[in-house]
Structure 1
């Protein structure tokens, strides 16, 4: 997963206020705005206790809950520095618990986790409930939408909508198949998810080019899509749960291949930190453990990261400090242009939960 979307965050110097808040407005909440305001007051107290300045508090207050147009369950991730909102992320799901932190580094990894697995897809829903005959009355309705899962839950893109008489479905399906192919190519979709009436979707599927049929997954149509949410949201969740993006698969396969032949890879925290210090990391692989209390020593630059204070002072850092390991690692990845791949432990259990694919291998020691 590329982390470019975090770059604006690290262009600002800390300290940062990092806030994760449930801002759902689903029907189960009687007065969602009051509930959001109450949760924010509790988090505000936490920030004050950690030394947050009034301007940073005001910047968050002015933004909390301003996503009222997003329906259903979701959340906000807000980051401020020196009284300015530097990054706002809409969370596809509410955070496991509301949190707020004020400190020299932003608490950015939970936002990254909510972006994973970041799979580009194209969803197509064909709605038809009539008689399976080209002579039947009625219409076939088609909706199509490209997105990146799971962020598309709360940030759906423009949607194609077309409705045609059943008698014209054969000809229209031919044209739509070409459009779907072009749409998938433009959006970089690695999966096409097709839902709807078996007869009507079958006609469309059979007209898709062969290369796109190889990426096709058919699902039940389910309920009518909720306005403002991703098309086929529930079906997409079932399709993509536990799945990695194709790009991340390639990186993981390369890591495992390098590991098997003792090449440009490393495992464990010490080796990872050493590689980040040298800007040597192409991709970092993580068995995510958000409960980990692990801390690392950091300095003012992204590559200023070490296991001990003395290690960092040896690099010339005059004022090292300890920070959460996940915050330090995330800043180092963004600052050195490395990627992050979240790997379920059941797929690959990494030593100390971490490993790296290197841009180059260290030269072999001379004999």
Structure 2
């Protein structure tokens, strides 16, 4: 998950209100129910020690959502009487509301609720061109398309004399040209939309031809749907393809992490786990990707933070040794995610790659691990 959208949260010092609300219920009394929910969240923030201005800002922001048609929910982050970030969720929170008042914004739930449901472009391909559709957990919208050469595009079925073979060659050349144009346009569409997944729909040969012509950087983002030309994918089919993609990506990252734990010929491992090692890597700006198992035992562990992202330690006295005069206790996952955001490192929940049991072998110890970059 690219965490760049969280940058505004770290332009200000805390404490922070972090609020997750489920907006998936829509009924006649929804507006009234959301007003009550806003009041309840405001009271809970106040009970946790939030200032009145921030409680009021969150309460008013939630009341403005009384008629919102979000399919899932929202996450709001506020401080100093102002809502700094209001982001839609890609799936419903586990609880109707979750409220936190802490020195850092509680962003780790976003790895599950906002980050692991990829935006995708569905390309409906035929020999004359393609239509593109942008799909996400929030709905679908037209994303343009491309029209190739219109003639000739069909083979003849008569006997092949010289003129027929020449015609067939022109048909092939026309289609090859169109496939290349579709691939080029799809690559541009992916770059403009930031789509994580490309789904190709059409006849077998047409899908393959476009797939083969896409840039190498996109090959691991492409899946082909087994539908005929022109058929539209249902929401459930797109959801299943997105989930398969999420699982595959999580498994790839987990496999990379497990392989990187083994030291190389120089005795250096390219992955670390456990809070002390992760804190050290974060201080040195060496986290290349953060791996999280939400609600793992170490995610709740207390660490100490200073004003800057590289000012974090397992013990408060360590920060004083580093010259930091001000310090606060924070959750380990949120402190490490702050460091990841401000050093440009992505983060991923590897939960989709794990068995649905308590017996999870070969996972980051404590639910937190990282692939490292070397200076």
TM-score by length of 1: 0.74
CA-CA distance at 1:74 after TM superposition: 1.0
Asked if 2 retains the 8 angstrom alpha-carbon contact of 1:70 and 1:154, the reply is no
Name the SS of the counterpart of 1:333 in structure 2. helix
Unaligned runs of 5+ in 2: 155-170, 356-360
Larger Rg: 2
Asked if 1 retains the 8 angstrom alpha-carbon contact of 2:203 and 2:227, the reply is no
Asked if 1 retains the 8 angstrom alpha-carbon contact of 2:294 and 2:367, the reply is yes
CA-CA distance at 1:87 after TM superposition: 0.8
Q: Residue 369 of structure 2 is aligned with which of 352, 355, 364?
A: 355
Distance 2:279 2:98 in 1: 27
Asked if 2 retains the 8 angstrom alpha-carbon contact of 1:21 and 1:40, the reply is no
Distance 1:349 1:254 in 2: 11
Unaligned runs of 5+ in 1: 128-139, 226-230, 362-367
Asked if 2 retains the 8 angstrom alpha-carbon contact of 1:287 and 1:342, the reply is yes
CA-CA distance at 1:89 after TM superposition: 0.4
Verify: 1:237 aligned to 2:239, yes or no.
Answer: yes
Verify: 1:319 aligned to 2:319, yes or no.
Answer: no
Paired position in structure 2 for 1:328? 335
Structure 1, residues 296-347: CA drift from partner, whole Å, max 9, x if none?
1222221222222222222222232222222222212212322212223349
Distance 2:122 2:65 in 1: 24
Change (3 A) 1:86 1:173: farther
Q: Residue 134 of structure 2 is aligned with which of 142, 146, 166?
A: 146
CA-CA distance at 1:108 after TM superposition: 1.1
Paired position in structure 2 for 1:307? 314
Asked if 2 retains the 8 angstrom alpha-carbon contact of 1:117 and 1:245, the reply is no
Paired position in structure 1 for 2:224? 217
Distance 2:45 2:121 in 1: 41
Map 1:178-189; keep pairs closer than 5 Å: 180-186=182-188, 187-188=190-191
Asked if 1 retains the 8 angstrom alpha-carbon contact of 2:31 and 2:67, the reply is no
Paired position in structure 1 for 2:100? 101
Provide the aligned C-alpha RMSD in A: 3.9
Distance 1:68 1:184 in 2: 38
Paired position in structure 1 for 2:161? none
Q: Residue 60 of structure 1 is aligned with which of 41, 58, 61?
A: 58
Asked if 2 retains the 8 angstrom alpha-carbon contact of 1:24 and 1:32, the reply is no
Distance 2:227 2:36 in 1: 40
